[in-house]
């Protein structure tokens, strides 16, 4: 995946006259980058998915620490480390996002980019399910219909495959759970300090694994070959390529209404689907198309429901004030945050 976009990013107001153009440009750039990640990871296919994810964690931490120093945000990073409860929640988030990265890279480099796209298409449906099971929300009729259609889509695709599309399901569940954890953390942790903490949690395991690979002679970083230097640079670049889209997302989300951010998120799986079908030439038999159409219908219903029940006026902005963030951690308004994000 793309790096999972943390739902707890603080958001500000959009321009009174309409959608903020700078915010829209930042959001489009972010989702375009995430959507074209399959092309990048295919360049690293000589490395295993586990090795790629380990490098991604290591170099992401290095990039985040540098960015924290340059933006004078080390104090925010240290504040999180001194709060055991929040650190524990971000550690859980780190495990979830690493699992998501691992399955995503494996899916792309094993010829299942279309399945990866499906996983991010159905993520809003999984988010709605989590809202019911974990947050005890009550769904509106249209949300129930969308969820039923989404379940039917999975049955159609599973029957067509002859097996459960586990890559899509795993990506949707890990990303949905990651969003739930970040929602619990709230808006007290910025995108950059949050990612720094998550990659710091992963760092010891990632470094240990890479050292073991090197000692066993199985690592690809620095291995002899005609593309040795380019391969090393590509692995090093996984750090900024993980962090930069996340920071763009954070900047966009502060400027745009939540409804616009929710619509932009579908750009990523659309691009992944196009890359899988048109570039990687992955098969799309009729039953797979039928399943995707059902998913798109379910998404359209969720979007319609979210639009019909959106907050009116200035309160409909994505992050009008800190009051919404504080209320998002308790009470009915907090429980509605996750399903509003899904739509």
3-state secondary structure string across 207-219: HHHHHHHHHHCCC
So what's the pLDDT on residue 325?
A: 39
With 0-12 / 13-18 / 19 or more C-beta atoms within 10 angstroms meaning exposed / middle / buried, residue 134 is middle
| Contact call for residues 253 and 319 (beta carbons, < 8 A) | yes
| Contact call for residues 118 and 255 (beta carbons, < 8 A) | no
Q: How many Cα atoms within 13 Å fall on the side-chain side of residue 229?
A: 0
Distances (CA, A) of 55 to 61, 221, 240, 242: 10, 9, 11, 11
For the cut 70, the answer to whether the pLDDT of residue 187 exceeds it is no
The model's pTM is 0.80
| Contact call for residues 45 and 225 (beta carbons, < 8 A) | no
Long-range contacts made by residues 62-71, C-beta under 8 angstroms, separation at least 24? Answer: 62/239, 63/239, 63/240, 63/242, 63/243, 64/192, 64/195, 64/196, 64/199, 64/243, 65/196, 67/192, 67/243, 67/247, 68/192, 68/193, 68/196, 71/192
pLDDT (average), residues 259-275: 84
pLDDT (average), residues 234-260: 83
Q: What is d(CA 250, CA 10) in angstroms, rounded to the nearest whole number?
A: 7
For the chain, report the end-to-end CA distance as a whole number of angstroms. Answer: 20
Q: What is d(CA 316, CA 318) in angstroms, rounded to the nearest whole number?
A: 6
Residue 13 pLDDT grade (very low, low, confident, very high; cuts 50, 70, 90): very low
For 302-315, what is each residue's pLDDT tens digit?
A: 778 777 766 654 44
So what's the pLDDT on residue 303?
A: 78
pLDDT (average), residues 92-114: 94
| Contact call for residues 41 and 105 (beta carbons, < 8 A) | yes
So what's the pLDDT on residue 64?
A: 93
Q: Is the dihedral of CA 279, 282, 283, 289 positive or negative?
A: negative
Q: What is d(CA 311, CA 340) in angstroms, rounded to the nearest whole number?
A: 10
For 21-75, what is each residue's pLDDT tens digit?
A: 888 898 899 899 999 999 999 999 889 999 999 999 999 999 999 999 998 989 9
Q: What is d(CA 282, CA 219) in angstroms, rounded to the nearest whole number?
A: 28
DSSP state of 139: P
Q: What is d(CA 13, CA 317) in angstroms, rounded to the nearest whole number?
A: 6
With 0-12 / 13-18 / 19 or more C-beta atoms within 10 angstroms meaning exposed / middle / buried, residue 342 is buried
Where residue 330 falls (left for φ over 0; alpha for ψ -120 to 50; beta otherwise) is: beta
Q: Which residues of 220-240 are buried (b: 16+ CB within 10 A; e: fewer)?
A: bbeeeeeeeeebeebbbbbbb
**Interior angle at CA 286, CA 285 and CA 291, nearest 5:** 105
What percent of the chain stands above pLDDT 90?
38
| Contact call for residues 95 and 181 (beta carbons, < 8 A) | no
Q: Cβ neighbours of residue 209 under 8 Å, at least 6 residues apart?
A: 50, 51, 54
Distances (CA, A) of 30 to 37, 202, 306: 11, 24, 23
pLDDT (average), residues 187-206: 89
């Amino acid at each position: 995946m793309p790096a999972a976009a943390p739902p707890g990013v603080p958001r500000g107001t959009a321009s009174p006259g309409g959608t903020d153009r700078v915010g829209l440009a930042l959001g489009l750039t972010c989702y375009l980058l995430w959507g074209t990640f399959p092309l990048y990871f295919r360049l690293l296919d000589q490395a295993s998915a586990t090795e790629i994810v380990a490098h991604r964690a290591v170099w992401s931490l290095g990039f985040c620490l540098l960015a924290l120093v340059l933006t004078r945000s080390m104090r925010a990073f240290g504040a999180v480390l001194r709060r055991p409860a929040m650190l524990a929640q971000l550690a859980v988030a780190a495990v979830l996002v690493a699992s998501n990265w691992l399955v995503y890279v494996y899916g792309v480099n094993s010829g299942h980019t279309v399945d990866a796209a499906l996983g991010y298409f159905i993520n809003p449906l999984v988010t709605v399910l989590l809202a019911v099971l974990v947050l005890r929300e009550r769904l509106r009729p249209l949300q129930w219909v969308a969820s039923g259609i989404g379940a039917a889509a999975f049955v159609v695709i599973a029957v067509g495959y002859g097996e459960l599309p586990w890559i899509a399901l795993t990506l949707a569940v890990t990303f949905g759970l990651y969003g739930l954890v970040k929602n619990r953390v709230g808006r007290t942790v910025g995108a950059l300090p949050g990612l720094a903490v998550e990659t710091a949690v992963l760092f010891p395991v990632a470094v240990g694994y890479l050292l073991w690979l090197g000692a066993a002679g199985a690592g690809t970083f620095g291995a002899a070959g005609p593309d040795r230097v380019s391969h090393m640079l590509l692995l090093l670049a996984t750090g900024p390529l993980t962090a930069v889209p996340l920071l763009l997302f954070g900047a966009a989300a502060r400027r745009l209404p939540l409804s616009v951010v929710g619509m932009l998120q579908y750009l990523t799986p659309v691009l992944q689907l196009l890359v899988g079908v048109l570039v990687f030439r992955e098969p799309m038999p009729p039953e797979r198309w039928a399943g995707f159409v059902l998913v798109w219908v379910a998404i359209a219903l969720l979007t319609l429901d979210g639009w019909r029940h959106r907050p009116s006026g200035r309160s409909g902005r994505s992050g009008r004030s800190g009051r919404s963030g504080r209320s998002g951690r308790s009470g009915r308004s907090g429980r509605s945050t996750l399903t509003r994000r899904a739509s």
